[in-house]
Structure 1
Amino acid sequence: MTLWTAADAAAATGGRVTADWVADGISIDTRTLRPGDLFVALTAARDGHDFVAQALDKGAAAALVSRIPEGVAAGAPLLIVPDVVAALVALGRAGRARTGARVLAITGSMGKTSTKDMAAAALSAQGRVHAAEASLNNHWGVPLTLARMPADTDWAIVELGMNHPGEIEPLARMARPHVAMITTVGPVHLEAFADVAGIAREKAAIFAGLEPMGGAIIPEDLPTTPILRAGADAAGAVIVGFGEQGAARPLQVRPDAEGIRVQARILGETVDFRLASAGRHFAMNAVGVLAALEKLGADLKASADGLSRWQPDKGRGAVERLGGITLLDDSYNANPASLAAGFATLAQLGPGRRVAILGDMLELGPDEVAIHRDIASWPAMGDISLVHACGPRMKAMFDALAPEKQGFWAQTAADLCARADELVQDGDVVFVKGSKFSRVASVVDVIRKSRQTPAPDDAPDKRNT
């Protein structure tokens, strides 16, 4: 199916084409490029122009470039523009403008990607769904998602992330959602914000991009809820709160062998659904998703049924029984709010010695050491028998623990991996959590290997939170 013709892409970007071409996809990485893709030569850690020849050799329909790269003939199929990122943004705006899809945008301090994936699963039987891949949620990830959207899409789910002030609003105005949802607000990226209230104001900027009379789905039980509500009011949005006391709320959350079963009240209607992951925070976000999809115009009962198709990605809260232990793999990323949610999930997971393996949390600002140290005194730590940790920040937490709870501390995750056989024992319930750059996910891989259970396919690289 044709996604972009040379003429349409040139008109959208104001660029110049060197030959006629038709693309049925868009790629930014030659490792995953498929024949027929338009290759976008982004410049990040490496300059994408250095890979244009390789992309064309692999069957790319054309390349979006700001210059003719070395080794590429002038007659090769190119779309030449002054700035590649600006052209990608223009292509994303054009992709959004040409579709009649109903658009849901999601942001929040945690849970964006799993919530986006829940929404896609819930809509999967209700028409053609286009959702952001992985966590493509930044200044080039959002336009890439929109540019990849087929014109005949029925439902679109876009994820918006940030790590500095002023990033959410332009992304929201690009996506022009009919409904926008905030999963939660927590102490993330505090090195770039004065306080959590500033983070809430940045998240609430998503409502500035809403289509007229759009829906705002906000968490009802937060100290910063008034800030979110004020942002939605300023945008003229129709507000729906979700939470323990919201218009969308869980009535019952019951763990079972495969996850949790939930009964919820959604805008006056009671629905039942199941999720393939433990954790009340997953149930709460699913309730928010159902409210968002109802406001988007989807069938509520069909959406609830569709949630059973959702499976958590590797490192994002999946529970596995393997080789005599129960593993809660939440190792992809971490902040204090998601760590607290993980501890709450751990408490629900059947009998056994609780073992936590924790890596550093990043981007917490000047108080990061104190924030880590305080974890040792959290009430949830009382239910944990043994803690292993890695990283200089988690050293503060480890040193503050009661001696009987101290397992191993190591400077790096690799050092913990070397002691994998000593970390857990049969019957343990094991929780692994840390920021991506702590590399604590590598400990999960070693534990899986030692327990002779194949690891799931690696999740694609993610960007912002």
Structure 2
Amino acid sequence: MAVLWTSADAALATGGRATRAFAATGISIDTRSIRPGDLFVALKDVRDGHDFVADALAKGAAAALVSRIPEGCSEADPLLIVPDVLGALEDLGRAARARTRARVLAVTGSVGKTSTKEMLRAVLTSQGKVHAAEASFNNHWGVPITLARMPQDADFAVIEIGMNHPGEIAPLARLARPHAALITTVAPAHLEAFDSVEGIAREKAAIFEGLEPDGVAVIPTGLGVTPILRVAAETRAARTITFGPEEGSDYRLISAQIAGDATIVRAEAAGQQMLFKVMTPGKHFAANALGVIALAEAVGADQAVLTCDIGLWEPPAGRGARERVYMDIVDETQSFDLFDDAFNANPASMAAGLEVLAGAQPRDGVGRVARGRRVAVLGDMLELGPDEAALHAEIAALAAMNSVDMVHLAGPRMRALYEALPRAKRGEWHESAKDLAARAAHLVDAGDVILVKGSKGSKVSLVVDALRKLGQPGAAEAHKGKE
């Protein structure tokens, strides 16, 4: 592997002192996933990373970034000693950004940041070497780590930027210095820390404060807060590009038709018609894909290639991925479809997930219940502030709920939705996802389509795991190609 940081370069970037020469090929903050050649960064969280330095070196780390010589180590070990580890990590990210020739793209938004980042990775790969954040590395650790890991020969870098509180996005955006930045959407989320959706919009728009002098801002149309985003974009960006369903959008979404496991998208840009396919159902994925094309074109990518390659993206586990779970190794009809969307939830993304469920087609006549059902398993939406009970109850009034046959719920906040649902749709409610997961076999039948969605902290992923365990080992491979 190519050398990412020499001891000399890292010391120069951080102002630190290297106890001996080293050459690192990667960056790691976790000894559980560390690889030989990584520079281990001893950050302090629940545990102090200095406690794990000796283990990291034993596992083949090239060196460790520390603020003191840790227990079990000495000057003979490869250490880069700095006054503050997090500050030094930011310095590495800043230096990596300064030395790269990559076009840097930044993404934020209340919904769809990680999916959009992965779409960008997929569509840009055929047009150059792409470096993108891993998983949801989008906070005060994740952004500098992503930058510090950036190879010098990258052509594109995709940086995801998130927030939980006011004032978080601007410093991360200034660190990333994007050539183009995208806001996917703004929705009620993190309302514990913000007075209003307008406050969230202003925080999201702070991403434009980091734009390069010739930078491009890409914003969604059709939102109540679009004017706030537009003012921020036009203040900070050399050029503003809009996308969405509104007349006059630079990239206008004309239609998004769900067709089985895909979404067929018709759009228009600069008077030219676009037709492309996103390989997962959901109108919100169509909107994100249009934003991706607008952002990628803004840094010089080819539109024709982009619209072809958008079909290479598939949602990762926990973010809307669809799978079939086979409960019988012989009879493939004894199966159900599972949408795993258990990683994140707020009112906007909950509405989008239920819309996908409403458009899915169950299979009749194969289960204990004659008619296949659309089943929602929903966990608490967290960080919604003082109106959380009302925001949960309002889910019952969504148009997509008319097509949902049964709703099972987990978490104290979801009790409000349980009370608001018509009795015919009320399934089980449990205080915890763990308790609901124990009932997995009673929640689903062959032919059903089931959506599992909730905030990560609600732990509805336990229900996903329990539903997957209803499948017979080896059945998916046995039935592959039969459906």
Q: Please, what TM-score do these two structures have when normalized by structure 2?
A: 0.92
**How much does 1:300 deviate?**
1.1
The answer to whether the 8 Å contact 1:168/1:205 transfers is yes
Is 2:290 the counterpart of 1:270? no
Which sits farther off after the overlay, 149-158 or 262-271?
Answer: 262-271
Cross-structure match for 1:463: none
**Deviation string for 1:249-269 (max 9, x for gaps)?**
233433334422323223433
Contact in 1 for aligned 2:357/2:404 (Cα 8 Å): no
- Show the counterpart of 1:398: 418
Contact map agreement 2:260 2:281 (CA 8 A) in 1: no
Question: Residue 356 of structure 2 is aligned with which of 333, 345, 357?
Answer: 345
Distance 1:62 1:322 in 2: 44
Specify whether residues 222 and 454 from structure 1 end up closer, same or farther in structure 2 by C-alpha distance, changes over 3 A only: farther
Question: How far, CA to CA, are the matches of 1:163 and 1:209 in structure 2?
Answer: 19
Offset, 1:354: 1.4
Q: Find 1:387's aligned residue among 407, 414, 426.
A: 407
Q: Partners of 1:367 and 1:48 in 2: how far apart?
A: 38
Cα pair 1:65 1:79 within 8 Å, conserved: yes
For 2:35, the equivalent position in structure 1 comes to 34
Which residue pairs with 1:21 in the alignment? 22
Structure 2 SS opposite 1:124: helix
Task: Tell me: CA distance 1:156–1:454, structure 2 relative to 1, closer, same or farther (3 Å).
Answer: farther
Specify the code of the residue in structure 2 equivalent to 1:375.
Answer: I
Corresponding residue for residue 285 of structure 1: 288
Q: Which residue is equivalent to 2:329?
A: none
Q: Equivalents in 2 of 1:268, 1:51: separation in Å? A: 58
SS at match of 2:65: strand
Opposite residue 176 of structure 2, the aligned amino acid is A
Instruction: Give SS of 2:469's match.
Output: helix
Which of 322, 335, 342 is 1:331 aligned to?
342
Match of 1:435 in 2: 455
Of 230-239 and 100-109, more deviation after overlay is shown by 230-239
Alignment of 1:62-73 (within 5 A): 62-73=63-74
Shift of 1:369: 1.4
2:382 partner amino acid:
L
- Consecutive unaligned residues of structure 1, counting only runs of 5 or more, are 457-465
Deviation at 1:107, TM superposition (A): 0.1
Question: Residue 242 of structure 2 aligns to which amino acid in structure 1?
Answer: G
Q: 1:22-80 CA distances to partner (integer Å, 9 max, x unpaired)?
A: 00111111111111110000111211111100000011000000110000122100000
For the pair 1:202 / 2:222, whether they are aligned, the reply is no
Count of residues in correspondence between the two structures: 456
Partner of 2:228: 227
Taking the aligned partners of 1:257 and 1:112, their CA distance within structure 2 comes to 24
SS at match of 2:159: strand
Structure 2, unmatched stretches of 5+, are: 327-334, 363-371, 477-483
Q: Deviations over 1:378-397 (max 9, x none)?
A: 33222211110011000111
Superposed CA offset, 1:258-287 (max 9, x none):
422323223433333222211010011000
> What displacement does 1:136 show?
0.4
Structure-2 change in CA distance of 1:453 and 1:309 (3 Å): farther
CA distance, structure 1, for counterparts of residue 238 and residue 318 of structure 2: 34
Once the two structures are TM-superposed, the CA of residue 372 in structure 1 deviates from its matched residue by 1.1
- Residues 53 and 70 of structure 2 are in contact (CA less than 8 Å); yes or no, is this contact kept in structure 1? yes
Contact kept in structure 2, 1:28 and 1:39, CA below 8 Å:
yes
Contact 1:448–1:454 under 8 Å retained in 2: no
Specify the alignment match of 1:191 in structure 2.
Answer: 192
Provide, for residues 446-465 of structure 1, a one-character-per-residue CA deviation record: whole Å limited to 9, x for no partner.
Answer: 11110237899xxxxxxxxx
**In 1: Cα distance, 2:280 partner to 2:46 partner:** 35
SS state of the match for residue 153, structure 1? coil
Q: Alignment identity in percent? A: 59
Q: Within 2, Cα distance between the matches of 1:280 and 1:455?
A: 31
AA of the residue aligned to 1:330: D
Establish whether residue 256 from structure 1 lines up as the match of residue 259 from structure 2: yes
Structure 1 stretch displaced more, 418-427 or 199-208: 418-427
What residue in structure 2 maps to residue 462 of structure 1? none
1:418 aligns with 2:438: yes
User: In the alignment, is the contact (CA less than 8 A) between 2:358 and 2:401 conserved in 1?
Assistant: no
Query: 1:251 is paired with a residue of what secondary structure?
Result: strand
Equivalent runs, 1:90-105 vs 2, <5 Å: 90-105=91-106
What is the rounded CA distance, in whole Å, between the counterparts of 2:239 and 2:473 in structure 1? 47
Secondary structure of 2:237's match?
coil
- Indicate if the aligned counterparts of 1:325 and 1:430 stay in contact, CA closer than 8 A: yes
Work out the CA distance in 2 between the residues paired with 1:377 and 1:258. Answer: 26
Cα–Cα, structure 1 residues 193 and 263, in superposed 2: closer, same or farther, change >3 Å? same
User: Which is further off, 379-388 or 434-443?
Assistant: 379-388
CA distance in 2, matches of 1:4, 1:406: 57
1:283-335: CA deviations, max 9, x gaps? 11000100111111111111222212212110101122323222221111101
Letter in 2 for 1:326: D
SS in 2 for 1:347: helix
Which protein has greater RCO, CA pairs closer than 8 Å, 6+ apart? 1
Following superposition, the deviation at residue 135 of structure 1 comes to 0.8
Matched residue SS, 1:188: coil
Corresponding residue to 1:360 among 377, 380, 385? 380
The alpha-carbon distance between structure 1 residues 424 and 97, as it changes in their structure 2 partners (threshold 3 A), is same
1:82-121 CA deviation, whole Å, 9 max, x = no partner? 1100000010000000011101000000100000000010
**Which deviates more, 347-356 or 268-277?**
268-277
Question: What SS does the corresponding residue of 1:374 show, helix, strand or coil?
Answer: helix
Return the alpha-carbon distance in structure 1 between the equivalents of residues 271 and 164 of structure 2. 36
Cα distance in 2 for partners of 1:379, 1:255 equals: 17
Query: Does the 8 Å CA contact 2:379/2:459 hold for their aligned counterparts?
Result: yes
Q: Secondary structure at the match of 1:38?
A: strand
What is residue 460 of structure 1 aligned with on the other side?
none
AA aligned to 1:211 is: E
Cα deviations by residue, 1:239-258 (Å, 9 ceiling, x for unpaired): 11111122112334333344
What is aligned with 1:461?
none
Q: Distance in 1 between matches of 2:234 and 2:343?
A: 34
RMSD: 1.5
SS in 1 for 2:185: coil
Partner of 2:300: 297
Q: Which amino acid aligns with 2:337?
A: T
Letter in 2 for 1:362: L
